[in-house]
Amino acid sequence: MSTNGFFSKAEFLNHWQGHRNLTRNTIEKFPEKELFEFSIGGMRPFAELVKEILTVGLPGLEGMVNNTTEGFNHDVPFNTKEALLAEWDRQTPLITEYYNQIPEERFPEHFNLFGQFNAPIYENLLYFVDNEIHHRGQGYVYLRSLGIEPPMFWDR
């Protein structure tokens, strides 16, 4: 009998990091000014969506590893494309490092993420990726609206 369920712990990490790579490529497609200023329908500019992603995934993992349930803070001082990408790259190996510290046995356990999202750990981890795909898809519309071709969706 398989011991991997739907897929393995390592395969999820690979899936997440692949999506992160695609999101990084999406950030790079934006001109500096439009990254921080362009929006549609009163929504947040793409830089704000990226800040949300940056302040949910790694801080969430840190909470799971250290069993802390402090709130999140999306108001972070990454005010240039270079600063956003530098933070993105800083987090890449740390996400792998923290993720690997969570024993697979904990994945079905409930954890009160940020003191407000009480769900099984695997659901919180899926949420990080789902939320990133959701907001990146919105970034694709911004890019198309600016006349810029987004990265290929399947190219991780």
In sequence order, the β-bridge partners of residue 112 are 118
Closest CA to 56 of 103, 105, 2, 16: 16
> Which residues are near a second copy by CB under 8 A?
1-9, 11-12, 15, 19, 40-43, 104-105, 107-108, 122-123, 125-127, 130-131, 133-138, 140-147, 153-154
Tokens 């999820």 -> residue: 12
| Closer residue to a second copy in complex, CB, 3/67 | 3
- How many CB atoms neighbour CB 152 within 10 A? 9
| Closer residue to a second copy in complex, CB, 40/86 | 40
The answer to whether 19 is a known ligand-binding residue is no
The HSE-up count of residue 141 (CA atoms within 13 Å, CB side) is 11
Beta strands in 103-149 (DSSP E): 110-113, 117-120
In sequence order, the β-bridge partners of residue 117 are 113
CB 29 within 8 Å of CB 150: yes
| Closer residue to a second copy in complex, CB, 111/142 | 142
Least distance from a second copy to the Cβ atom of residue 106, Å:
9
Least distance from a second copy to the Cβ atom of residue 131, Å:
7
Least distance from a second copy to the Cβ atom of residue 103, Å:
9
Least distance from a second copy to the Cβ atom of residue 107, Å:
6
Would residue 27 be called left, alpha or beta, if left means φ above 0 and alpha means ψ between -120 and 50 degrees? alpha
| Closer residue to a second copy in complex, CB, 85/140 | 140
In the annotated binding site for a divalent metal cation, the residues are 135
In the annotated binding site, the residues are 135
